[in-house]
Amino acid sequence: MKDSKPRKKSDSKKPIVISVSLHALLVAALVWGADFTMSKPEPSGQMVQAVVIDPAVVRQQAQQIRSQRQEAAKKEQDRLDKLRRESEQLEKNRKAEEERIRKLKEQQAKEAKAAREAEKQRVQKEKERKAEEERARKEKERAAKLEAERKAKQEEIKKAEKERIAREKAAKEAKEKARLEREAAEKAKKAAREAKEKARKEKERLQRLEQERQEQEDALNDIFSGLETEVNQNSSARNQFIADELARMSSIYTQNIQRKLIKDDYLLGKECRVNIKLIPTGSDMLVSGVTIMGGDSRVCAAAKSAIAKVGSFPKSSESAVNEQLKNINLTVALD
């Protein structure tokens, strides 16, 4: 790049030389173009004609040519100066760009080197980490093995100690058991003698009691024979009354349901069996659930709806009847 500047300066002089040469030729043409010539004498003997050039005109034209030449030279010089400045600026920009690229390459080289170093360190640390992990794993395995051996030995010691304690305990228990068995045998003999005597006395007492019981039983049988006849008669009458009351309440319940049934010719002659769960309250029985047991589906649906409309049913004056009314089966039909 240093050799290019003189070459450019040499090239810039060529237009100036050419311009000067052209202007010199123009002046010569103007001088000769003004018929500034001398005619040779002709044989005819005529007078020679001469043309005189005005020096002021020549100076004026020369000044004009000089001014034009100077103006052209100035413009050319301005153009060359502009080209030089642009060339210098481009060269400056090029050098700046080369410097930027050089610094960028240096930075990239540094970063690449740093990255390589970092990767090298990472690989080294990874190797060290893996080696440490392997060492820790082996150490852990060794420690686990030692711990297992220690526990095994400890278990053997505990087992041996337990066996020793068990043997001593068994020996003590056997000795104590023998002593207790001897004592028990002696007590058993004594108890057997006492039991035999007690059994004899108890047998005699029981015989007396049995005799007294038989005498009392014979007397009571005579009394209860008359009472049982009376109780049976009263119980039969009570059961019949409850059955009649339950039938009466069932009839009332059925009538209450039938009054709420939708009148439909299709339902005539058909029936439905239902189970009703009732809860006694202070004055009536509230419906808590209805279960269809069988029958015509439409009658059953109408019956279930009618029971819901009734909502509650009257109570009986008999608590035994109310107890049976808590879970009652009814047959609902339209005649």
pTM for this prediction:
0.33
CA distance 39 to 297: 157
CA distance 212 to 206: 10
Q: Where are the alpha helices (DSSP H) in the chain?
A: 4-33, 55-260, 297-310, 319-325
All residues at 6 or more sequence positions from 260 whose CB lies less than 8 Å from its CB, including other chains:
305, 306, 307, 309, 310
CA distance 287 to 256: 13
All residues at 6 or more sequence positions from 250 whose CB lies less than 8 Å from its CB, including other chains:
328, 330
At residue 48, the pLDDT reads: 47
Please state the separation of Cα 128 from the chain's center in Å.
38
What is the bridge-based pairing of β-strands 284-295 and 312-314? antiparallel
Residue (of 213, 245, 214, 217) closest to 316 by Cα position: 245
For 234-267, the pLDDT digits (tens) are 678 888 999 999 999 999 999 999 998 887 787 7
The full length of the chain comes to: 335
261-334: CATH architecture = 2-Layer Sandwich (3.30)
Lowest-confidence region among 120-124, 217-221, 308-312: 217-221
Res 6 pLDDT > 90: no
Over residues 34-55, mean pLDDT: 54
